[in-house]
Chain A
Amino acid sequence: MPDPTDLTVDPHRVLTGIGVCAGTASAPIVLVSPAPGVDEDEPPCTDPAADGQRVRDAMKAVADDLTARAEATDGTTRQILETTAQLATDRAIAKAVDKQLKKGSGITRAVHDATATYAEMLAQLGGYMAERVTDLMDIRDRVICELRGVPAPGVPRLEQPTIVVARDLAPAETATLDPELVAGIVTEQGGPTSHTAILAAQLGIPAVVRVNGALELTADDRLAIDGGAGRVIVSPTDDEVAELAERARRREAALADSHGSGRTADGHAVPLLANIGTADDARRAATQDVEGSGLFRTEFLFLDRDQAPTLEEQTETYTTVLEAFGERKVVVRTLDAGADKPLVFADQGEDENPALGVRGLRLSRAREDLLDTQLEALAAAHRATGGDLHVMAPMVATVEEARWFAEKVRATGLPHVGIMIEVPAAAINARHLLAEVDFASIGTNDLSQYTYAADRMQGELADLLSPWQPALLAMVQAACIGGAETDSAIGVCGEAGGDPLVALVLVGLGVSTLSMAPGKVTAVRAALARHDLATCQEMARRAVAAPTAEAARQAVIDLAHPEVLDLL
């Protein structure tokens, strides 16, 4: 058997990972280089003045490069780059480096240690400041690269359609990616709910994460990737490239007639909605072929600031969102923060297990004033626009919580109140919780995390977080039974709803609306249109009865229309 690591023998090989955004690509690659770090062999400093000047020159070069890149962009990206450029020539860093040099530290070690002190100070300040640590570390790495005469870390400027290969992509790295030139993304780490996956889904870039061996690829390699199947072919043959191109063509053909409202082949309506997080998202999504928003996350108004947003500011934002969607439905989730997403102005102290702590509705109960202002703002926006507004609470587990929330929402005059089902307790006890409210929306990401006791951010646990896991499907089924008994609508607004195959199962289980990244709607609509409700129900029966995630998926594939496989 040939040694798979001996590339001189046969460079052609197939790597597998988790496909997080369907689509295919065949292109050269660019490796996002990891930072080289401190030069362990460098001599100690003997001339602090000369070395101090070298560091200043390097900082200037880094700042100039960032400024040039800022000028080539606009909007938020430009602001991020300009602020980072300013940080790159910061006097305080230069002075702190001088101190380290006078102590005799080598030049890259001095840069490393000088920035570390500030990083710690920023981290302690929390919130917005803590996030600037990433920028500072980026500057540190760039200055060290400049001093060592090696290429800067991060994503180089792309000249042609290219597949980006990385350990994982940090938000700062993706900020400057040109979506037009990124043909695909391959990462060794990450998972279906990681930053890279969400970004890829938003932009519709084929992506495969958790690819073992991705970091052993070299800059000369050519790749062909299949973001649906999770396949990465190194040095693909002409036949393989042709096969992928054929797949892309079939996918396009299968999507060609996908427009209008979501419905099964026999006309059972399943409204397809967009997940949004900001007023800008709302404006963008509203121009697309979606039937509204099934999840408007309101956290962005609250995170990274010192004081809670005012009633006026919130009213303005909610009004903008409702106006964008006109008569279409908008489901707003009240503040989902606390614990893993801490707020400076609502600090509940340290949580040993943040995911199990005072977050979601629990934070709203501890800080009722925040929820009151938010509901008041939503009611004002509703009065101003007359939009089809639905309001739901995150992290609800008990009947008492659901009742408390419903009373508050109804007291403000808002017409529709609901809960998220993301805790197993709420899924199992759904009929009692639903007796208190009008509707529920299942958050499959958190429901997976809590059902399988698997941290969403832990890439290694990705298989436990698969939407095909039988216990997760059983939870969805329990929630749907509760919905049927109380005659309440049950939606899904997690990643699972955006997978064309899983969507069929969810509809079969009784889910009545699906909300997802706007880029996924077309494929889900195409899948629904090729199956009648009875087939979806049979798929659901078999998937829930399957012993493993793999068996559940296979059982559904066996019943699926062949063209749907082209969508994956």
Chain B
Amino acid sequence: MITRTATIASSVGLHARPAAIFAKAAADTDLDITISLGDEEADAASVLEVMTLGAKHGDEVTLSCEDDGAEAALDSLVDLLGRDLDKE
């Protein structure tokens, strides 16, 4: 299993547009990626689950995937979370 950590850079947290952009990017990888905040886990490709995770600006989240070929995909998602998506 591959894991990566990322810090939420969006000023409004992983809400609304940022959540939608992130979930779409996760869905486009065609991989089963989990995003977790503390003990809460969510399907990264589901905007609904990502929103209900309630990750705020500055929160550290973990991305994980069972597929060993997912390194590049996770790295690009980490990069996405490190940008202020609400401003884009």
Contacts and interface: CB of A to CB of B under 8 A. Distances in A.
A306 B51 contact: no
B27 A91 contact: yes
Contacts of A121: 52
B23 interface: yes
B5 interface: no
A86 B20 contact: yes
A125 B51 CA distance: 9
Contacts of A122: 51-52
Contact of A87 (B12, B15, B48, B52): B48
Given A83-B20, A86-B20, A306-B12, A125 B52 contact: yes
Contacts of B46: 90-93
B48 A90 contact: yes
Interface in B1-35: 11-13, 15-17, 20, 23-24, 27
A265 to B, nearest CB: 52
A306 B48 contact: no
A307 B43 CA distance: 26
A132 B17 CA distance: 12
The 7 closest A-B CB pairs, nearest first, are A92-B46, A92-B49, A121-B52, A91-B46, A90-B48, A92-B48, A90-B46
Given A86-B20, A86-B23, A92-B43, A129 B51 contact: yes
Contacts of B56: 306
A96 B49 CA distance: 11
Interface in A71-92: 79, 83, 86-87, 90-92
B16 A128 contact: yes
Contact of B47 (A87, A95, A125): A87
A452 interface: no
B54 interface: yes
A132 B51 contact: yes
Given A118-B48, A128-B16, A136-B48, A91 B54 contact: no
Given A86-B47, A91-B27, A306 B13 contact: yes
A305 interface: yes
B45 interface: yes
B45 A91 contact: yes
A87 B51 CA distance: 11
A34 B42 CA distance: 33
A151 B4 CA distance: 45
Contacts of B83: none
Interface residues of B, number: 22
A87 B20 CA distance: 9
A372 B9 CA distance: 27
Contacts, number: 52
A498 to B, nearest CB: 33
A120 B88 CA distance: 30
B11 A93 contact: no
Contacts of B42: 92
Interface string B48-64: 11011010110000000
Interface of B: 11-13, 15-17, 20, 23-24, 27, 42-43, 45-49, 51-52, 54, 56-57
Contacts of B24: 86
Interface of A is mostly: helix
B59 to A, nearest CB: 11
A504 to B, nearest CB: 45
Contacts of A136: 48
B43 A91 contact: yes
A118 B15 contact: no
Nearest to A310: B11
B51 A305 contact: no
B15 A129 contact: yes
A136 B46 CA distance: 13
Contacts of B51: 122, 125, 129, 132
Given A93-B48, A95-B43, 18 more contacts: A83-B16, A83-B47, A86-B23, A90-B47, A90-B48, A91-B43, A91-B46, A92-B46, A92-B48, A92-B49, A118-B48, A122-B52, A129-B54, A136-B48, A306-B15, A306-B56, A307-B12, A307-B57
29 contacts: A79-B17, A83-B17, A86-B20, A86-B24, A86-B47, A87-B47, A87-B48, A90-B46, A90-B47, A91-B43, A92-B42, A92-B43, A118-B48, A118-B52, A121-B52, A122-B52, A125-B52, A125-B54, A129-B15, A129-B54, A136-B48, A305-B12, A306-B12, A306-B13, A306-B15, A306-B56, A306-B57, A307-B11, A307-B57
Interface in A111-137: 118, 121-122, 125, 128-129, 132, 136
Contacts of B43: 91-92, 95
Contacts of A86: 20, 23-24, 47
Contacts of B52: 118, 121-122, 125, 129
Contacts of B20: 83, 86
Interface in A485-520: none
Contacts of B48: 87, 90, 92-93, 118, 136
Nearest to A122: B52
Nearest to B42: A92
B24 to A, nearest CB: 7
B22 to A, nearest CB: 11
Contacts of A95: 43
A536 B68 CA distance: 81
Nearest to A124: B52
B35 to A, nearest CB: 12
A33 to B, nearest CB: 26
Contacts of B49: 90, 92
A55 to B, nearest CB: 15
Nearest to A127: B15
Contacts of A132: 51
Nearest to A120: B52
Nearest to A313: B11
